[in-house]
Structure 1
Amino acid sequence: MGASQAGGLPVSLKLPGIVLGVGLGGFVDGILLHQLLQWHHMLTGTDSDNIGVKYYSPYTVPGLEMNTVWDGIFHTVCWLAVLCGLALLYGRLAHNRRRAWTSRVLWGWILVGWGLFNLVEGVIDHHLLAIHHVRGGPYRLWWDLGFLLLGALLVAGGHLLQRSGEPLRPRDADDEGGLR
């Protein structure tokens, strides 16, 4: 056990939760918006981007192939974030890991991470670089702003949720209940 666990201090779920939330939020974005709804791919806005990336139309086979490659790179980063978040979580919990998965603290931090994903990805990809938008067309700014609003709501809701939970403490040697 680590020094903080031996001393009975709460186990911090903040970093593992945020990293998991970033990865899981990215997966929701990629699976829902890129694949199922097909509203955008990673490079579908590059015909009007701010950095001069070549345009790859999602309506041609070569364009869709390049967008699919970049969507795959995006999903790889999401997958790595989830793996890192799980590794961080595993490293902080020595006993009764199931208790952590039911913790409001962990799920609150996961929501914060998802919201941070939306905010960072939305500001950078939709507004600064403009390499894609949530949904193209005449109302794309409103879709992009809605994505940012959802991110802000996820951060605020996650923060409130984690504050309403009880911190996890390492289990005592004689305590059958595990983490509290």
Structure 2
Amino acid sequence: MADTRAPSPLPGFLLGLGLGGFVDGIVLHEILQWHHMISGTEPTDTVAGLELNTVADGFFHVATWLLVMAGTTLLVVSWRQGRLAPNWSFHLGLLLFGWGVFNVVEGVIDHQLLGVHHVRDDLGGPLSWDIGFLIFGALLMAGGWLLYRRGLRSLLQRTEPVR
């Protein structure tokens, strides 16, 4: 008998964390080259420093890949259990929420507490870019949460017995 419970939010959240990390790593580290994982503590203007930063970026990408794999695996497990598939609002909301959580946690820990890098190390790490990164993360969290809740309400209406 199929399980008609709403899907678990964990897969979408983990996918959002991982994909948010990929956006950060691909866009800010590689394409724009504003910073690298440890560019606040290791210089990028020498071959040795750039090599060390590139290795740190690689380990960061491994971690984001593992989050995406965990989210994907849990999503398939949920579907194989017969749970309802997430609707677009539910799933996209969790992706955005997870991305926002990634930005806020990474921004507070790496940018502020540890200082291993800032959003714009290429400009000397001005605080305004770090604050903007945190605000963007908070907006992603708020918008994602609202979208997720809308999708959840819709799914819960589908699971109620017909009278």
TM range, smaller chain: 0.7 to 0.9
Which residue, 113, 116, 119 being the options, matches 1:134?
119
Task: Tell me which protein shows more helix as a share of its residues.
Answer: 2
Match of 2:37 in 1: 42
Question: What is the letter of the counterpart of residue 161 of structure 1?
Answer: L
TM-score, normalised by the number of residues in structure 1: 0.79
Question: What is the letter of the counterpart of residue 11 of structure 1?
Answer: P
How far, CA to CA, are the matches of 1:146 and 1:85 in structure 2? 28
Match of 1:24 in 2: 19
How far, CA to CA, are the matches of 2:109 and 2:119 in structure 1? 12
Question: What is the letter of the counterpart of residue 26 of structure 1?
Answer: G
Q: 5+ residue gaps in structure 1?
A: 47-55, 171-180
Match of 1:72 in 2: 58
Aligned CA-pair RMSD? 2.3
Secondary structure at 2:135 match in 1: helix
Which residue, 109, 113, 129 being the options, matches 1:143?
129
- The alpha carbon displacement at 1:75 in A equals 0.2
The answer to whether the 8 A contact 2:119-2:125 is kept is no
Q: Percent identity, aligned pairs only? A: 55
The answer to whether the 8 A contact 2:94-2:145 is kept is yes
How far, CA to CA, are the matches of 2:5 and 2:27 in structure 1? 39
Residues 36-68 of structure 1: per-residue CA shift (max 9 Å, x gap): 00000011111xxxxxxxxx2111110000000
- The alpha carbon displacement at 1:93 in A equals 1.1
Runs of 4+ that moved beyond 4 A: none
Residues 58-111 of structure 1: per-residue CA shift (max 9 Å, x gap): 1111000000000000000000000000011111113899x53x5210110111
Which residue, 90, 112, 115 being the options, matches 1:105?
90
Give the count of matched residue pairs.
155
How far, CA to CA, are the matches of 1:121 and 1:87 in structure 2? 24
Question: What is the letter of the counterpart of residue 116 of structure 2?
Answer: I
How far, CA to CA, are the matches of 2:43 and 2:32 in structure 1? 16
Question: What is the letter of the counterpart of residue 9 of structure 1?
Answer: R
Structure 1 stretch 108-117 or stretch 86-95: which is displaced more? 86-95
Question: What is the letter of the counterpart of residue 55 of structure 2?
Answer: V
Matched, 1:10 2:17: no
Structure ID, larger Rg: 1
- The alpha carbon displacement at 1:162 in A equals 1.1
- The alpha carbon displacement at 1:9 in A equals 2.4
Match of 2:71 in 1: 85
